[in-house]
Amino acid sequence: MEHNPSTQDPVAQILLLEDDAPLRERFARILAGWPGGRLVTACATLGEALAALGKHKVDLLLTDLRLPDGHGTEAIRQLRRLNPNADALVISVLADDETVLEAIEAGAVGYLLKDADSIELLEAIEEVRAGRSPISSSIARVLVRRMGAPAQNPTGPALTPRETEILRGIAKGFTYAELAEWLNISHQTVPVHIKNIYRKLAANNRSEAVYEASKRGLIRL
């Protein structure tokens, strides 16, 4: 994640999307007194935000997720369609896996949980602008759980080392013959392992096996 100061506007054009009026105004006040960015608009609804995104160049979107007329991820998606270099920072009370993952997938690079200790908004914005990802620790846990240690908690039957090797080979598109040569075994033995893999993964063919194994964290792509 290179940062090129020449293409990076030193003063960020900020769009704020937050339906709670007191909070929105609080954020707006904080931003008003901050030289690092300019608040383009403060919106209370998704509709307003989508309209505003069409009218103004926005570098940074600060957004809530649960909105009266839709979901903040829509604003994130629209932002990144219009300007792939723009960043989105989520500020939400929602912390369930699905919501968090959807926001990250939509393109959010930061995610602050709206709770407890007052949010260090400007600090987080600076982090984002510097190419880092400020994320509340509860939210980070979702990502860690999602990415991490699936090898320790395999969902179904475990694959033997040999099977894992072969599975990796399959994922890379090797044919039976190539796998046999690669592993220095008979081209007759390869399908045996593969059949066992299919049984364990409840798959019926190569691509489904790759899909299943990847979903279960047995291989990393």
Partner DNA sequence: ATCAATATACCCCATTTATGGTATGCCCCC
Partner DNA sequence: GGGGGCATACCATAAATGGGGTATATTGAT
132 binds its own copies (CB under 8 A): yes
Task: Please report how close the Cβ of residue 111 comes to its own copies at its closest, in angstroms.
Answer: 9
143 binds its own copies (CB under 8 A): yes
Q: Among its own copies, DNA, none, what binds residue 193 when CB lies within 5 to 8 Å by partner kind?
A: DNA
C-alpha 97/C-alpha 158 separation (Å) is: 25
Burial-class residue 169 by CB neighbours within 10 Å (0-12, 13-18, 19+).
buried
Beta-carbon contacts of residue 220 (< 8 Å; ≥ 6 apart): 214
* Token representation of residue 48: 């307003």
Q: Tell me how far the alpha carbon of residue 213 is from its chain's centroid.
A: 21
* Token representation of residue 149: 């240690």
Q: What angle do CA 25, 30, 33 make, to 5 degrees?
A: 125
Q: Percentages helix, strand, coil for the chain, rounded to the nearest 5?
A: 50, 15, 40
The only residue of 11, 32, 82, 101 in contact with its own copies, by rule CB under 8 A: 101
What is the size of the binding site for DNA (CB under 7 A)?
A: 24
Q: Among its own copies, DNA, none, what binds residue 75 when CB lies within 5 to 8 Å by partner kind?
A: none
176 binds DNA (CB under 7 A): yes
Interface with its own copies (CB under 8 A)? 1, 80-81, 84, 101, 104-110, 127, 131-138, 140-141, 143-153, 170-173, 175, 203-211, 214-215, 220-221
Residue ranges in contact with DNA by CB under 7 A: 158, 160-163, 174-177, 183, 185-189, 191-195, 198, 204-206
